[in-house]
Amino acid sequence: MLKNSLFWKIFISYAGLLCLCLAIAGYFVNKIIQEYSLSPLTRTMAYDMKTVIGHMLPAFVITLVIGFVLIRINTSSFLHITHIAKNFARGNFAQKAEIVSSDEIGDLATAINAMGAELQSRKQTIVDDKNKLDAIMAHMNDAVITTDLQERIILINNAAKTMFDISTVVLHRDYLWEKIRNEKLHRLVRETIKTQTARVSETEISAPEKKLLHIHLSPIQVDKENQGILLVFHDITELRKLENTRREFVANVSHELRTPLASIKGYVETLLENNSLRQEEIHEFLHIIMKHSQRLDNLIKDILELSRLDSHDLKTEFTMLDIHPCIENIFSQYQEHGIRKNQALELDIPQQLPLIETNEYLLRQLLTNLLDNAIKYTAEGGKIHLKVTAFNTSLCLEISDTGIGIPQEHIPRIFERFYRVDLARSREMGGTGLGLSIVKHIVLLHHGHIQVESAVNIGTKFLITIPQQQSKHPA
C-alpha cells in the first residue's frame, strides 16, 4: 500500500483540502472573537461557532475515513490495470482485467483486455512462424548461413554445421572466417558486402571431406537498422560426378562403336573394290565382318540392358522362385563351352533350397555374365566352380575360377562401365566392358551385396549375397 502513489496523492489532496477548510473557519472565529470580544452577543456567536467547529472535527474525521475507503476502492482498479500492463510489457498476455462497470474504468479494462488478446494472438503468430522457420532450416539439405556486414555469423542451420564440421558457434560473436577456412568464399562475401549485389559461384572445400559447392550470395535486410549477407550452399559433388560419368560414358560408347564400325567399313570397301580376291580371303573377311557385327550387337544389347536396369522408372517384378532348376540349366549350357577349352566346371548346390524372391530373367543375366567371364579369362585346363548355399535369411552365390586374376589396384573399379583391366585382351575376347556393371546393378536391385577376391595368375572369386525375401519398403 505504501507503494500506491496514486492512492496516496489523491488521499493527501483530499485530506489537505478538509484541513484547509477547517483552518480557514478557525481563523475567522478567532478574528471575530478578537475584534468583538466586548459584546455579549458576539461572545454568544463565538461560543456557537466554537461549538460548530467542535462538531466539525468528528465530521472531518468521519469524512476522512469515508474518503479513504472510497479513494482506495477507485484507485484499486487503476492499480490492477497497471499491474496487467506491466505483465504485458514482460510478454505475459494471459492475465485479464476482471473489472465489471459501465464507467470510464470499465471501458479502460475492456480496452486493456482487447489489447492483451490481440498481443497474445500476434505473439503466437510470431512464435508459430519462428517454429516453422526453425523446422525448415533444421531439415534443409542445403546449408544456410547469414552474416552481418562485419562477417559475424547471425544464423546457421544444421546442414551448414555438418557440411563444414562446425561443432559449436556463438551467434553474433563468431566470425565466418573463424569457422570456415576458404579464401575464395571470404573474397566472395567481401565483394557482396561491398557491391551489395547478389552473385553465384562454385568453390571446393577439402575438410572435413573434399566437396564441390555451389554458392549463392545475396544481400538482405536483417532488421530495420542492420543489413547482412545470406549464403546458401548446395553440394554438387555427386552431380558433377554424374556429369563426368555421363560424358565418359558417351565418349566410351562412341569409341567402342567406332572401332568395329571402322573395321566393318574397311573390309566391306575392300570386298567391293577388289575383284581379284580369292574365295578363302573373301570368307576370311566376311568372318571378320561377322565377328565385329556380333561385337556391335553385344555392345548395343548390354547398353540397352544397363540403361533399363539404371532407369528409375523400372518396375521389376519379383516372385518366390525355386532357383535350383534355373541354376542347373544355366550351368549345363556353360559346361559345353568349358568342354571346348578343356575346362572343368563344377556345381555345388544342395538338393533342398528355400524359395527365393527374385526375377528369373535378372538371375540368369547375373549368372550368365559371371560364368561367361570366368570361361573367357581362364586358360585351357582350368577350373570353374559355382557354389550355392542358404545362410539364415540370405542366399549366397560363389563363382570362382583359376584364371588370370585381377591386380589388386584394379578391383575397386571393375564394376565401372567400360572399365577393362586388359583392354586388348578384353576386345580380342569380344567383351563389351559392361558385364560386371550389369551384375552389380542386378545385385543392388535385389538389395544384396557383392564382393571380389582375386590374385594374379591364381584366380578370381565373386561372392554374392542376396536376401531370400525382398523388402516391401526399399530405401
CB-CB contact of 271 with 277 (8 Å): yes
CB-CB contact of 371 with 334 (8 Å): yes
Give CA–CA dist 58/205, Å, rounded. 93
Exposure class string for 5-18: b at 16+ Cβ within 10 A, else e: eebeebbeebbeeb
Q: What is the pLDDT of residues 336-383, one digit of tens each?
A: 788 888 888 898 988 888 888 888 888 888 898 898 888 888 888 899
Question: What average pLDDT score do residues 86-97 get?
Answer: 74
φ, ψ (nearest 5 deg) of residue 225: -110, -25
Q: What is the pLDDT of residue 38?
A: 47
Q: Which residues, 6+ apart, have CB-to-CB distance to 155 below 8 Å?
A: 137, 144, 145, 146, 171
CB-CB contact of 373 with 461 (8 Å): no
Closest CA to 67 of 77, 57, 75, 56: 75
Domains delineated in the chain: 1-139 (no CATH), 141-235 (3.30.450.20), 240-310 (1.10.287.130), 319-467 (3.30.565.10)
Residue 74 binned pLDDT confidence (cut-offs 50, 70, 90):
low
Q: What is the pLDDT of residue 400?
A: 92
Residue at 153: amino acid letter: I
> Residue 230's Cα: distance from chain center in Å?
18
Give CA–CA dist 475/466, Å, rounded. 15
Q: What is the pLDDT of residue 71?
A: 61
Q: What is the pLDDT of residues 268-301, one digit of tens each?
A: 888 888 877 788 888 888 888 888 888 788 778 8
Angle between helices 360-376 and 323-340 (to 10 degrees): 20
Q: Which residues, 6+ apart, have CB-to-CB distance to 100 below 8 Å?
A: 106
**C-alpha cell recorded at residue 399:** 563363382
Closest CA to 233 of 207, 255, 200, 265: 200
pTM score of the predicted model: 0.53
Angle between helices 104-139 and 40-90 (to 10 degrees): 20
Closest CA to 395 of 435, 345, 450, 346: 450
